[in-house]
Amino acid sequence: MGLGTAGGGLGVVTAALFSVKNWISPQSNAPEFYTHVEVTPNGGLFADWSLNEDGDELNGCSFWNASHYYAPRVCDTFGVSRISISSGNKAIERAIKCGAEHDAQCILSGEIGFSSPAAFLYDAEQGFRMILAPRIIAPEKDSVQKLVRLQDPSQKAHNTLLKFNSTINVEYINPGSRAVIVESMSGNDAYCVQTLRASVSPSCWLELD
């Protein structure tokens, strides 16, 4: 999933089912979807992906089409804090496969069958990193609202526009150290986190925020 402002050459994943009035700020009303899709209907932290002859996972990512909420299984503070380093690494490996195949720099946890809310952001120096259970504290004082074009890198869904804050303060969990981190994000990283917040069931955020 790539991200960019309207008129630019980049995009994020989604279909034309949002109104631009939605998700303007952390306090705005979420889109009201009536369908909740379980990330791991058979249980566990990861949805099953097919394996190749060597037993390695094949890329099984499926991009969000904005017609439903993802319903992760691990949506409580205790459960999120207990996600192991190995599970975090596996999720990042899936994000890498998905991003590499589709030239995407923003991957949502539901898209890779990871059953806890997380955004995976690409950095040229660090590669993909996980932003686990992000909570938007407040927009920065100099933040402006921008129209962001959301595109499906697999070209299976239509484009749409969302209004997002250009800069936000985010509190999230580092799955390696389990430390709580507060970070100011802007541009594509900020848009990716706000897209994650829009894609996950509101009941999950009620447990975490």
pLDDT one-digit tens code per residue, 156-178: 655 667 788 889 999 999 887 88
pLDDT, average across residues 79-104: 94
Question: Computed over its alpha carbons, how large is the radius of gyration of the chain?
Answer: 16
CA atoms of 169 and 136, how far apart (whole Å) = 6
User: Which of 144, 193, 163, 164 is CA-nearest to residue 20?
Assistant: 163
CA atoms of 186 and 53, how far apart (whole Å) = 42
Pick the CATH number of 4-39+65-208 from 1.10.510.10, 3.90.600.10, 3.90.45.10, 3.50.50.60: 3.90.45.10
- Whether the pTM exceeds 0.75: the reply is yes
User: Which of 9, 6, 29 is CA-nearest to residue 197?
Assistant: 29
pLDDT, average across residues 172-186: 90
- Domain spans, the chain: 4-39+65-208
Confidence band, pLDDT 50/70/90 cuts, at residue 129: very high
State pLDDT tens for residues 130-141: 999 999 987 667
State pLDDT tens for residues 21-62: 333 333 444 556 668 999 999 999 999 999 888 888 888 899
Q: Residue 166: how many CB atoms within 10 A of its CB? A: 18
